[in-house]
Amino acid sequence: MQQAVVLPGTQKIRVSGGGIRRLLADLDYLPEDERDQVRQAYEYGARAHHDQRRRSGEPYISHPVAVATILAQLRLDSETIVAALLHDVIEDTPTLRVNLEDHFGQQVAAIVDGVTKLTRLRKAGHSETQAASFRKMMLAMVDDIRVILVKLADRLHNMRTLDALDRERQQRIARETLEIYAPIANRLGIRTIRREMEDLGFRYAWPQRYRVINRHLNQRPRHPRAVLRRVSDRLRRALKSADLEGSISARAKSAYSIYTKMREKQLTFKEIADVFGLRIIVPDIDACYRCLGIAHQLFRPMPGRFKDYIAIPRVNGYQSLHTVLLGPEGMPLEFQIRTPEMHRVAEGGIAAHWQYKAEDKSVLPAQFRTQEWLRRITEMQATAHEEEFYDHVKVDLFPDKVYVFTPKGEILRLPRGATCLDFAYAVHTDVGHRCVAARVDGQVTPLRSQLKNGQNVQILTSRNAHPNAGWLEYVATAKARSAILDYLKNTQTREAREVGAVLLNQALADRGSSLRKMGRGPFEEALEELGVASRQELYEQIGLGERLATLAAAVVMNPGKKRSGDRRRKLTPVDIAGAEGMVVTYGKCCYPIPGDEVVGHTSSGRGFVIHRNTCGNFRAERKHKDRWIPVNWKRRIRLEFPSGLRIHIDHRPGVLAEVAARVAETGHNIAQVNMQDRPEESTELFLSVLVKDRDRLARVIRAIRTLPSVHRVQRV
């Protein structure tokens, strides 16, 4: 039984002295021929950077050596180490990629070129530029994960040397590190880099808060240290009695993790329960659970504070048993129990796959999960714009998860706050598009319901179901949001083109022509004059209200000729049925329904909006005649439309139920209810009732008026 009690807060990657000898000493795991290649890379880089210095005054080569040393301490392969030594030569010296290919091979040159492209991304404050840069960074990671490993080490060393910069740049770089680089390191499972980035970022971004928390940590070092020694001695003896081998080390939460927990849970420092703890490393999984049982016999566990990350690993591949126990004097201590292989992955994450192992090239859990994540990133970048992609991936970078079961017993990991709709899209995009409800633990549940750990979830689907914009309000995962947005964009584009073609055809009909009669040559000439690339683009612009069909028709009829806008032709009405999709909407100001005299108004971004001809908005905007188009209802419309009613009623208990019952008696449904809370004897009730036409609405109004408590019913 070995024991090594390490004092809290002392574990981190070593700071390189800047010399090649220290780096080569850290590379003792590599064979001699690969270490020779590292020496050659150092000499090549030293010559390339010979006349350059860092802001601190040190020779520039000290920076690549420090970056390579960070990666060497993760025991990465020789190609990554060589690339780290050369990662700035393309950017800062006359060296070309082809030169690196000649000397060190295509793999090294590709990694260096990838890092160079990330370095060249313009650093600007505009959010779109930041989002575009972030997108390129993530896609570089997809091409070769070692590109981002070098970039993370590069950023970590720059964080260590921030003292050479002014205060404004320190804060900007520190916050960028906390927002992007540290979460990426965490998502890849590289704890050593992530933890140091977080503490350095915290120190420079919020120096006063950093000092306060560190002062609290250092005010009582003797008491926790003594307790940790007593607990570790007692546990060591118990493990020895059970014939279990292992090592025990003390650990402490970092200042940044304490700060984030205080902020998220609104706690004081004294209320943080598990600042200190022990890490126990035992030979195999069976020993992990045996050790857990022994620890629970020695110390009382805190309810609800046990997590089995061995059975259900974290999204980054992390595996361990976590339990919080009450030690001597009631001091809460977190125990982490894992195997040596789990510990290697916990510290190095995806980097563990690239660690030099001549004989072992098996796929690790961390590698498998990272490959899944990178595949999702590839899917997202194909459909999302920069801003959307940035938001989607940032959600995935903070994997605070819930674990739920499919009907087949498989486990799905979703972010906390995920809903049944997120679950549906996690199963398959087609399942998400067709879902109507969920069955959670046997109970039918709305799609918006948030999921909890351990629930069994089954998705109910329908061929007629499809996404709508409201779904975006209650999804938490990047995959679901991206799939819904992609569907809505494609659907809106298709519907806009269909409506735009109808509107343009009607406008041409008013001029005695039609789309069929238009020759290809004149139409293409008109497209060029209008500045659009194709007929479909013109239809889309008209359907979305970005271009007037009447003006477009004038150009199409007579391309290249001057047109006066003062002549108003009699317009042919457009026929509607309520099933035109998202680009045809119905004004909430007047709630038009079949049977009403209606007009259409083209609105940029909203498409074609239908109003009653008695609507106040229509009367106020009649001077803009070019945007108003006559509309007719098609015959035999089967859809129901919302119609607003304003009802003046007695203010007494049960009156709302009476109104709802009377509406139900007519065979109609209420879509929305809003009742004013007044102290007077009477009040006003707003109802949105679903009806097919004016006749059916009239029946509803007559039925409501028969109630004694109703004084007046008006249509909105």
Compute the distance between CA of residue 574 and CA of residue 114 in angstroms, rounded to an integer.
Answer: 55
DSSP conformational letter for 571: P
Burial 318-329 (b: 16+ CB within 10 A, else e): bbbbbbbbebee
Residue 172: Cβ within 10 Å count: 15
**What's the number of CA atoms in the CB half-sphere (13 Å) around residue 97?**
12
Which of these is catalytic: 92, 101, 498, 684? Answer: 92
Tell which residue, 567, 641, 631, 574, has the closest CA to residue 598. 631
Which of these is catalytic: 34, 58, 91, 650? Answer: 91
> CB of 147 within 8 A of CB of 140?
yes
List the beta bridge partners of residue 645. 687, 715
Q: Which residue type occupies 27?
A: L
Q: What are phi and psi of 249, to 5 degrees?
A: -135, 145
3-state secondary structure 332-370: EEEEEEECHHHHHHHHHCCHHHHECCCCCCCCCHHHHHH
- 91 noted as active-site residue: yes
- 92 noted as active-site residue: yes
Tell which residue, 389, 379, 391, 428, has the closest CA to residue 406. 428
Residue-wise DSSP of 166-223: -HHHHHHHHHHIIIIIHHHHHHTT-HHHHHHHHHHHHHHHSHHHHHHHHHHHHHS-HH
Token digits for 629?
Answer: 């188009």
Token digits for 655?
Answer: 């009156």
Query: Rounded to whole angstroms, what are the CA distances from 454 to 305, 404, 405, 421, 446?
Result: 16, 5, 7, 17, 18
Phi/psi class of residue 434: alpha, beta or left (left: φ > 0; alpha: ψ in -120 to 50)? alpha
> CB of 349 within 8 A of CB of 316?
yes
Compute the distance between CA of residue 54 and CA of residue 50 in angstroms, rounded to an integer.
Answer: 12
Compute the distance between CA of residue 40 and CA of residue 293 in angstroms, rounded to an integer.
Answer: 53
Compute the distance between CA of residue 60 and CA of residue 45 in angstroms, rounded to an integer.
Answer: 10
Compute the distance between CA of residue 348 and CA of residue 494 in angstroms, rounded to an integer.
Answer: 48
Catalytic residue positions? 91-92
